[in-house]
Structure 1
Amino acid sequence: MTEQIPLNDGATIPQLGLGVWQVDKGITAQVVGWGIEAGYRLIDTAEGYQNEEGVGRAIRGAGVPRGELFITSKLRNGAHQRDAALKAFDDTMEKLGIEQIDLFLIHWPVPSRDKYVEAWKALVELRQAGRIKSIGVSNFNQDHLERIIAETGVTPVVNQIELHPHFQQRGIRDFHARHDIRIESWSPLGSGRLLSDPTLSGIARKHGKSTAQTIIRWHLQEGLIVIPKSIRQDRIAANFDVFDFELDAQDLETIRGMDSPDGRTGPNPATASFLF
């Protein structure tokens, strides 16, 4: 069973979860149902994924008490102004069909619009009202984090960022550690590009595991929260079957050497300005 990671507000989060980015809304309930059946208790969605309703159906049909599940969603980029943020949150809760969400994040800072501090204040307000247990951010660079902390006095519990062996984000990990902000890895398999990497495949063969399982295990041993995604039942189950082996010191050193400043596969938070 996955470890529970403590957050800076006293809550805990499962270290291994299921992401549903790019999962078609027509199959989301089935995919999440398979995940819960396989043992996942953290489910990560977003307003921008347009599949929150499917996650809600899976929650209601899972046969698992709501208190055992940890549900995350995210505020869409076009709703950073306070009133828009509050309305967007209401829409999320209606689609999920739950009374309180475990973790709600600002999806992207969109610095060109300069509204992310206002959005953060809206999340603080919702948490104080008891509608959100924990609040955090996604794709925030260090300067974005420093600003919201300075202007509100409230530190996010989580920053969900692109992170994988080819883009390990070592440069900002110390800042997160000093402020007790947990890092959650999205695109943990490098958008699938790492699955054919010969170095990682060699480490996987050594342990009798798949390359995906090996990469997920690396995230866990690095102390990261990780949310791999698949729409295949067998792979969803296999991605959770990572608790019966450990990477050794040589494995970890080898993977550390794979880091590249050019390894990013997604948008750069400093310049990303898309709205959804």
Structure 2
Amino acid sequence: MSKTPAIPLNDGRTIPQLGFGTWQIPDETAADAVSTAIAVGYELVDTAAIYQNERGVGKGLADNPDTWLTTKIWNESQGYDRALRAMDKCLERLGRDSVDLVLIHWPCPARGLAVETWKALVAVRDAGKAKSIGVSNFREQDLKTVIDATGVVPALNQVELHPAFQQRELRDVHEKLGIVTQSWSPLGQGGAMTNPVITGIARECDRPASAVILRWHLQSGLCTIPKATGRAHIEANFEALDFALSDDQMARIDALDEAGGRIGPDPADFG
């Protein structure tokens, strides 16, 4: 299978476009799932403190220390000192001295702690505990708040993004600021896979519907982290690297965007 393409970050590093997500994978099965993903060819694994599977993910990566590893600081750990302590706990659970990327999981604007938390991540990076730092679920105003306060632009913003919720305005903001967009729930929690447009294109390409959707993410210049547990689904997703969509097929998926397409929480009031 093809090697995963990588795209540049604003800190001089590059990140694999297609990764393996571990949300809702229990700790006791995470090691096997991650090991399978690595065997298939994935070069990036994404976890988070709140997933409660960092120990399993770490075990699954024990023999692959060069695999890109992302984790996230949970809402209850926001604030400068708490975020620093939370980062150390993440590393302990992962069995690592450092990770490739750490993110603030949600902006939690009502708490007003995003700036202090972001300053903590800058310190984490400077201490060598994370090579790159970024955010997740940040809106334009949340991004500007931390950038204006610190002068440090997040390398990446991981947000809900799938054919029914394409986040075009936020992606434009990211492009202007030099921030990479990474999609969570890239398959719309499975819903996009049964859309007639997607299934039609899958037949045209003779590829799984999931691979068609993930190919759309890749050709749109996005990073993405689909979750799968069984080897068959892990391999099906990885087929996204082995073909290309035509301009017409891309346009047909682009047309699936919906004003009310959000599935997950609204960052404006979550946390």
TM-score (norm 1): 0.96
CA distance in 2, matches of 1:219, 1:228: 11
Q: What residue ranges of structure 1 are gaps of 5+ in the alignment? A: none
Which residue of 82, 90, 93 corresponds with 1:92? Answer: 90
Match of 2:105 in 1: 107
Letter in 2 for 1:98: R
Question: What residue is the counterpart of 2:81 in the other structure?
Answer: 83
Q: Which residue of 1 aligns with 2:264?
A: 266
Identical columns (%) = 48
- Once residues 188 and 269 of structure 1 are traced to their aligned partners in structure 2, the CA distance between those partners, rounded to angstroms, is 17
Q: How many angstroms apart in 2 are the aligned matches of 1:27 and 1:261?
A: 37
Unaligned runs of 5+ in 2: none
3-state DSSP of counterpart to 2:261: coil
Give CA-to-partner distance per residue, 1:151-192, whole Å, 9 cap, x none. Answer: 000000000000000000011111100111000000000011
Matches within 5 A, 1:80-229: 80-229=78-227
Residue 5 of structure 2 aligns with which residue?
Answer: 3
1:172-228 residue CA offsets vs partner (Å, 9 max, x unmatched): 111100111000000000011111111110011000001101000000000000100
Quote the Cα distance in structure 2 between the aligned partners of 1:203 and 1:238: 15
Within 5 A, what are the aligned runs for 1:32-43?
Answer: 32-43=34-45
Corresponding residue SS for 2:132: strand
Q: How far did 1:243 drift?
A: 2.2
**TM-score relative to the length of structure 2:** 0.98
Deviation at 1:241, TM superposition (A): 1.7
The alpha carbon displacement at 1:261 in A equals: 1.4
Q: Could you give the per-residue CA deviations for residues 97-139 of structure 1, whole angstroms, max 9, x where no partner exists? A: 0111100000001111111111000000111111110000000
1:31 aligns to what?
Answer: 33
Structure 1 SS opposite 2:164: coil
Return structure 1 stretches of 4+ with deviation > 3 angstroms.
none
The secondary structure found in structure 1 opposite 2:61 is helix
On the 8 A contact 2:156/2:180 being kept in 1, the answer is: yes
Q: Give 2:16's match in structure 1, choosing from 8, 14, 17.
A: 14
What is the RMSD computed on CA atoms of the aligned residues?
Answer: 0.8
In structure 1, distance between residues paired with 2:108 and 2:155: 20
Q: How many residues align?
A: 269
- What is the alpha-carbon distance in structure 2 between the residues aligned to residue 220 and residue 257 of structure 1? 17
Counterpart residue identity of residue 197, structure 1: N
Partner of 2:242, secondary structure, is coil
Distance 1:21 1:254 in 2: 29
- Out of 238, 241, 252, the residue aligned to residue 239 of structure 2 is 241
CA contact (8 A) 2:207 2:239 kept: no
CA displacement at 1:21 relative to structure 2? 0.3
- Which residue identity lines up with residue 164 of structure 1 in the other structure? H
How far residue 244 of structure 1 moved from its aligned partner, in angstroms, is: 2.3
Displacement of 1:48 in angstroms is 0.5
Write the distance in 2 (CA, Å) between the matches of 1:86 and 1:204.
Answer: 45
